[in-house]
Amino acid sequence: MKIFRISSFLSLGIAGVLAGLLYWTSQSVQHEETILLQSQQAISFEQETLQVLGTEWDYLTRPQRLEELARERLNMVPPHSGEDILDTVSELPDAPLAETIFIEQAQTAKAPSVSPTISNAERESFGQLIDQIGGEEVTP
Amino acid sequence: MKTLSRTTLHMTGSKRTALDMARGRIVLISAIFVISFIIVAGRALDVAVIQGTWGQGQETRTSLLEHKNEKTATVRHDIVDRHGVILARSLKTASLYADPKIITHPETVAKDLTAIFKDMSYGDTLKKLQEDKRFVWIKRNLTPDEQYKILYLGHPGLSFQEEERRVYPQGELAAHVVGITNVDGGGLSGIEASFNKYLGQGTSPLALTLDMRLQHVLKREISYAMTKHRAIGGAGLIMDVRNGEILAAVSLPDFDPNLSGDVKDVKRFNRLTLGVYEPGSTFKLFTTAAYLEKNKNGLGDKFDATQPLVFGRFKINDYHAEDRLMNVAEIFMHSSNIGSALMGHKVGTKDFKDLLSDLGLMTAPDIEIAEISAPLIPQNWGDINTATAAFGHGIAVSPVQLVSAAASVMNGGIKVKPTFILNRDIENKRGIRVVSPETAHHIRQLMRLVVTDGTGSKADVVGYHVGGKTGTAEKNTRGGYDKNRLVSSFLGVFPSESPQYALYIMIDEPKPTKDTYGYATGGWVAAPAVRKTIESMVAILGMEPQEPKDDLKGSLARYVPPKEKINMQKVSHETE
């Protein structure tokens, strides 16, 4: 019996290569699986965080809390009693003082000038542009 | 020589074979050793370099897999309102336990623990830590801050177990409907109890029909009325009359389900479904409906309300006495007990009971909540019972039943089943007719008339045609009815022309105030609360105001004579 035949070495070599491939595949799978598990864990962690944040959001936006804040900070109250509902537009209350002043200023102030103001630098660059295209600049 | 040489050859051959075998064995053993060393070296390389370097700073697969298996444990589902606002949610918390066998200095540990948890006593904690066990609960459902402090102590033998804690972000707002769970996550009351199995195994959150914005508005107005009239309790309901969906359900006093451990039973009592009350005049709605069903053109039929009605030893009087002949529209508008009793009598006991039964007022309501009560009805129902039930006495029903029955009349006559669960109106879509559309229309007209010209004027909202019926019932005590202990209510509907919402507010034992000129009736106590609720409600729901020409009451004007004419009639009646 001849042990050291070429076919034996060949078989051994193939087995070795296959073992290596198998090992590499298994390592790759394990590696990918680890990444997958990590991603899943990260997702579930984020989901848990979202659950807590969602609960906190609904806690902070409780209607009674929003109403209290609107009353304290914005001077807003629920629309109560018949007087709050107007029949005609003329019954609308006067605008608040600050707005009235603004409106008065707007009415009395001079209208802003609409004539175009062109800086010298702009005029120069515009002149250059006209030169390049071989036209003539028209002075207003 | 030949022989020798042959022998020598033979000997040489045997020697070679033995040598070959020995060499072969050595090679084989060497090969095994070499392969083994290669395997060991390979594994060493794998562990030290491949996994060690690539997996640096990452958790091992084993721990990740363990974590994944933990995740599969079922989480109790959320309960949300119709817009997805969270009413109940289970959040992961850490619970602290100890292994007394590992704890070396129980005194120090107990001292440190009681410094963190102020509600725990040193003695009890020490006793727990000295027990002859391997597992003792120290405190369940810690806050993240508490958990951090325990970890910072670093005592061996103290460990955490992940648990769920039911959190109710809306607090008291819908406590009676949503209900509570025990420490192990089992439902104890409300939807938590009746949908315990679904919440434990279901696939999606459980959406209720409630709208937290309307719930808040209703609660605010009931609380205000209760405080103003120093009442002992209150309840209210907003229902979509088209499909029986309950948009708001309030029962006061209420409780915070997050701190449900030491809540008094009186606060846990759900007045809407568990409480039964004599409804008072709101019940006249059904008497009138029964009468109009039997007498199609009966709105103008007159009844004599000048004399109290005597049934055996009972005497029926009017609260808002008009002391004259009144037609059906006027009886409803002025809430005449005598007139209603006469109407009930004319309808007949059987037909009246049949209608109440069709409206679901004779049996316990069918609603998705554990706490329900059957109505209290007379055991031997005779004519006297028909007469008293005609104006809402001698029969006690739960508010949810009353509103569902009223909604069934107001929506055009199709029976609706009250529901707390969103998209569950399949049964209501089929609909069973309980009263004719004509009767339903007349009832809506009459309810509008009550608000424009009758006892419910304080419920009127400019631009929105509110209809309604006031109700004031004296409480039945052992010695009979007590005039000072009232249940004042208002049952409203809007818009009257094509109703969408039914509103009911009930105040338990209101006291009169100076503002109400000594009255504590439904028209003075509950009607203003209904008005304020509707004012906020139309703003929240963005409902457009209606045209005055659509107002229903106009068509009934011929049945309701002006006051001057009534006075003239009275004078001529007296001179006769």
- Beta carbons of A34 and B55 less than 8 Å apart: yes
> Distance, in angstroms, between A34 CA and closest chain B CA?
6
Q: Does B92 touch chain A (CB under 8 A)?
A: yes
pLDDT one-digit tens code per residue, A2-15 = 666 888 889 989 99
CB nearest A58 (choices: B54, B86, B215)? B86
The pLDDT assigned to A86 comes to 59
The pLDDT assigned to B15 comes to 65
What's the pLDDT band for B284 if we cut at 50, 70, 90?
very high
In angstroms, what is the C-alpha Rg of chain B?
A: 39
Dihedral pair phi/psi, residue B161, rounded to 5°: -125, 135
Question: Are B375 and B421 spatial neighbours (Cβ–Cβ below 8 Å)?
Answer: no
Q: Does B67 touch chain A (CB under 8 A)?
A: yes
pLDDT one-digit tens code per residue, B68-105 = 666 555 688 999 999 999 999 988 888 899 999 888 88
Pairwise pLDDT comparison (A5 vs A140), residue with the higher score: A5
- Beta carbons of B68 and A40 less than 8 Å apart: yes
Beta carbon pairs, A and B, within 8 Å: 83
In angstroms, what is the C-alpha Rg of chain A?
A: 41
Question: Are B370 and B191 spatial neighbours (Cβ–Cβ below 8 Å)?
Answer: no
Q: Which residue of B has its CA nearest to A38?
A: B64
- Beta carbons of A58 and B536 less than 8 Å apart: no
* CA–CA gap between residue B115 and residue A32 (Å, rounded): 47
- Beta carbons of B535 and A80 less than 8 Å apart: yes
Q: Residues B511, B517, B519, B522: is their CA dihedral positive or negative?
A: negative
- Beta carbons of A54 and B86 less than 8 Å apart: yes
* CA–CA gap between residue A77 and residue A79 (Å, rounded): 6
Tell me whether residue B95 is one of the annotated catalytic residues. Answer: no
Burial of B323 (0-12, 13-18, 19+ CB in 10 A): middle
- Write down the catalytic residue from B281, B335, B404, B488: B281
* CA–CA gap between residue B111 and residue B246 (Å, rounded): 52
- Chain A positions touching B89 (Cβ under 8 A) are 51, 54-55
CA distances from B272 to B236, B424, B537 (A): 7, 20, 20
User: Is a pLDDT exceeding 80 seen at residue A81?
Assistant: no
- Beta carbons of A78 and B89 less than 8 Å apart: no
pLDDT one-digit tens code per residue, B526-544 = 999 999 999 999 889 988 8
Can you tell me the mean pLDDT for B389-418?
91
CB nearest B50 (choices: A27, A40, A79)? A27
> Distance, in angstroms, between B95 CA and closest chain A CA?
17
* CA–CA gap between residue A63 and residue B492 (Å, rounded): 24
Burial B40-69 (b: 16+ CB within 10 A, else e): eeeeeeeeeeebeeeeeeeeebeebeeeee
User: Which domains does chain B show, CATH number per domain?
Assistant: 74-207 (3.90.1310.10), 215-569 (3.40.710.10)
CA distances from B159 to B120, B133, B533 (A): 18, 14, 51
Quote the tokens at residue A107: 């009415």
Can you tell me the mean pLDDT for A45-69?
91
